Amino acid sequence: NAGVMQNPRHLVRRRGQEARLRCSPMKGHSHVYWYRQLPEEGLKFMVYLQKENIIDESGMPKERFSAEFPKEGPSILRIQQVVRGDSAAYFCASSTKTGGQETQYFGPGTRLLVL
């Protein structure tokens, strides 16, 4: 059973470009979470999605960031018009169901560098 997959592992963008980060949850998992890890900081929750639904996006910046989890295919975190401050590691996690006892399994992350 493959773990959570993220691609690309490393992404370099120039200011103003778009970044698309992909996350394929573990097989059988229908809940996806995105986190951002800024240098020297812990992980910060961004968004929680189920298939075709955004459940909680309270951690997402109001502009330029969006996320989706379509019926088919991976979850996508999209950052438009990137700025240097978007440089960070973005982690995706998945779980079988929600609820405090359910373990989230993390992918290896995508490290975004904005030049």
Partner 1 sequence: AQSVTQLDSHVSVSEGTPVLLRCNYSSSYSPSLFWYVQHPNKGLQLLLKYTSAATLVKGINGFEAEFKKSETSFHLTKPSAHMSDAAEYFCVVSDLGGYQKVTFGIGTKLQVIP
**Considering the rule CB under 8 A, would residue 35 count as an interface residue with partner 1?**
yes
**Considering the rule CB under 8 A, would residue 91 count as an interface residue with partner 1?**
yes
**Considering the rule CB under 8 A, would residue 54 count as an interface residue with partner 1?**
no
Closest-CA residue to 106 (of 45, 20, 38, 18): 45
Q: Which of 64, 68, 98, 113 binds partner 1 (CB under 8 A)?
A: 98
Q: ω into residue 108 within 30 of 0, thus cis?
A: no
**Considering the rule CB under 8 A, would residue 43 count as an interface residue with partner 1?**
yes
Q: How far is CA 93 from CA 16, 45, 97, in A?
A: 27, 11, 12
**Considering the rule CB under 8 A, would residue 55 count as an interface residue with partner 1?**
yes
> What token pair was written down for 96?
């079988």
Chain contacts with partner 1 (rule: CB under 8 A) = 4, 6, 31, 33, 35, 41-45, 48, 55-56, 91, 95, 98-109, 111
